[in-house]
Chains A and B, each alone.
Chain A
């Protein structure tokens, strides 16, 4: 066994060029073969890649898809997103527990199946859903779960779980997935046929002209921050250095988001064309698609599209016959980490490191991947760049609202008749969208996922755009049967687990907010808790190092603002001198155990 492991580590490292930058790919391959990255494996990786052991441990212990503890041959990761919870995931979870005879976090005695919870896997439009190794199973029910367990026990092969394929390319022989696209409202991304002319058109222009066009179109980043894409390209182009990179952020991890999944499935050519145009404009030779670990089921398909583009001359040496423009794209898999969607964390992760964000300045445009000038853009942004080149800047700038040109893909899920992907022009009122998706009795909408804002009826006439209701794409709808505080509690828990832990306010502050909210939910809240939470939230937002901490208090703080009465109903002025959050019995429990009798104080205090 030991010698097999050593040989495998050596071979897999060799497959990735013995390059420490590819540590996550190497570790994922070993994890899937051996079910863990053991101490022994860490030592072997350290020797093979010639990096310190502590660096290997540091990286592999960061990602939730890698583990030191052994896991089963098959890992079932049931999505515990709030939408899955509202879609009955607890019932489904119980069937998993009962059928497997284990709880979450455990492995069956035969070592076959491990059962785990996982945050949003990008399937909120077909919840409850789960990952079985890399296979996605959707719209789970009790019967489906029983069937899944039976198939896994009989075949030991998760691929056998897919009997009916989803629409479009989900049925491609390289995908074979039951995932459905659910593209409900098509605009400029999901057009019928790709012309594929934009790249040639761009190559006929000078790189500076391409950037000028993207700037004139006022194309802003679609990932959420909304930075002008043309400016980002311009800065990267202007930075010194012969080696530059284009990175596509395909790590959509915001709970409730899945619009990039639809692009990756149906429009990969469009994405790669956009990346190639960006490469030309910036002067980059290499592109990287950072594909979230949950979308591994699309990897072979995407590799194949890349290979076909190479064969067609759209990637590689002298792209489309343009002398001297060499550009190729590789896919980097994520390994289960939300913070890696933050552009500097994503770069760290591409470098085979922990997904810690980096200090800015220097910005990625100056010093990014491996210290080289890098432009990181969202999947959707690259696609719109193609449309800008195809149809002209004036056309694009003429769509949408004043500060927000063009259209936006929205992943809409939750309490509505038709969850899915919708494309709207910026400036569309929220009320119109709610009507289109068939949402009734709406209590609240989480705009832009948990890092965005939770708004109620009073805000439904506001519009989707960068200057009003800004969003990276996730719209989660809650009807009047839902408990706002339960939603907020879930989102906080999510941020606590996904914080990288690098900076104090995010690492500690979110835990403190969670504790206080629990205190309120346990009926021990006092009026002073609200100003306490607001002040704590402000400190976390102002002093955190990256976008995660800077937005993590949003659901709590915006719900206190917009739904204050829900909190106030749970708060009581404490009796004089009492701290309702202090559990006397729990505090003296250890002493009671040592003393061997109950505390008299404990009886009188209650």
Chain B
């Protein structure tokens, strides 16, 4: 029995998890929501957005990548971490050209939903207004708008791990880093199919299916009624889900 349970704490509350679980998985199962963007159930974690940063025995780690261990103390919902997570969300907003009011992802967008959860009305940083190039609408069923990309890497992982393809990747580095596709021109020259998991992996409005925008009316979209993370907080221990 003992070797099947890992005892640790989150914000001083005793927790039990399974060996091999990450902090994020164990917290989800216990009904504790740790905000995240690049982590997606079913994909190996990237640890790229840094929104899920927690303090593990007083040292910063990402909950999505860090495994639980016996006796570990995790700080999650503290003033300092809330501030830093807010900062990161702000950074993602000013780094791209986001236009929530007209974006078909509005209401279903995880970045927007996190901003609402954190009470962000406007980012505190100046907009960087990057030039992201034209929208790639070459594919019959899916388009890429890099203005809205947050470089989380979910599409890259989903294509490799879930679809067994290599449709997406990253090019260049630093502030010039951008999502790229496995062809010398556009998305239409790749083997992406509309039913691919990668086509549905984007947390924001960067990779979007054509002809299904605005299907759900305002009021019935994913985050219209309850903030992002509520589904985890509402879940009973041991039946945690992760959107």
Contact = CB atoms under 8 A, between A and B. Distances in A.
Interface in B128-186: 128, 150-151, 166-177, 180-184
B105 interface: no
A55 B53 CA distance: 29
Interface in B48-62: 48-51, 53, 60, 62
Contacts of A545: 47-48, 50, 62
B92 interface: yes
B174 A496 contact: yes
B237 interface: no
A500 interface: yes
A275 to B, nearest CB: 29
Interface in A508-526: 508-509, 511-512, 515
Contacts, number: 125
A176 to B, nearest CB: 33
A543 B173 contact: no
B50 A544 contact: yes
A496 B175 contact: yes
A503 B94 CA distance: 15
Interface in A326-366: 337, 354-355, 359, 361
Contacts of A39: 184
A536 B91 CA distance: 10
Interface size class of chain A, counting residues whose CB lies under 8 Å from the partner chain? 35 or more
B235 to A, nearest CB: 26
B50 A55 contact: no
A53 interface: yes
A62 B176 CA distance: 10
A118 interface: no
Contacts of A544: 50
A14 B179 CA distance: 30
A507 interface: yes
B73 interface: no
B166 to A, nearest CB: 4
B92 A504 contact: yes
B45 A359 contact: yes
B216 interface: no
A544 B50 CA distance: 7
Interface string B20-60: 00000000000000000000000001011111010000001
B151 A42 contact: no
Interface in B169-219: 169-177, 180-184
B6 to A, nearest CB: 15
B100 interface: no
A505 B172 contact: no
A57 B177 CA distance: 12
Contact of B91 (A61, A498, A508, A515): A508
A501 B176 contact: yes
Contact of A58 (B60, B62, B171): B171
Contacts of B118: none
A39 B180 CA distance: 13
A536 B87 contact: yes
A100 interface: no
Nearest to B189: A53
A43 interface: yes
A583 to B, nearest CB: 11
Contact of A507 (B151, B167, B171, B182): B151
B19 interface: no
A77 B146 CA distance: 32
Interface string A274-286: 0000000000000
A543 B182 contact: no
A39 B184 CA distance: 7
A498 to B, nearest CB: 7
B170 A542 contact: no
A587 B92 CA distance: 22
B47 A54 contact: no
B126 interface: yes
A568 B177 CA distance: 35
B84 A542 contact: yes
A139 to B, nearest CB: 31
Interface in A45-69: 52-55, 57-58, 61-62
B120 to A, nearest CB: 15
Contact of A543 (B50, B94, B128, B180): B50
A188 interface: no
B50 A57 contact: no
A501 B173 contact: yes
A19 interface: no
A543 B60 contact: yes
B83 to A, nearest CB: 8
A512 B183 contact: no
B53 A57 contact: no
Given A52-B166, A53-B184, A61-B172, 7 more contacts: A54-B169, A359-B47, A359-B62, A501-B172, A501-B173, A539-B84, A543-B50
Which 9 pairs, one residue from A and one from B, show the smallest C-beta to C-beta distance?
A: A501-B177, A54-B169, A52-B166, A54-B182, A508-B91, A499-B174, A61-B171, A539-B87, A58-B169
21 contacts: A39-B184, A54-B168, A55-B169, A57-B169, A57-B171, A354-B170, A498-B174, A499-B173, A501-B170, A501-B173, A502-B177, A503-B48, A504-B88, A504-B92, A507-B174, A508-B94, A511-B128, A512-B91, A536-B87, A542-B60, A543-B84
Interface of A: 39, 42-43, 52-55, 57-58, 61-62, 337, 354-355, 359, 361, 496-505, 507-509, 511-512, 515, 535-536, 538-539, 542-545, 581
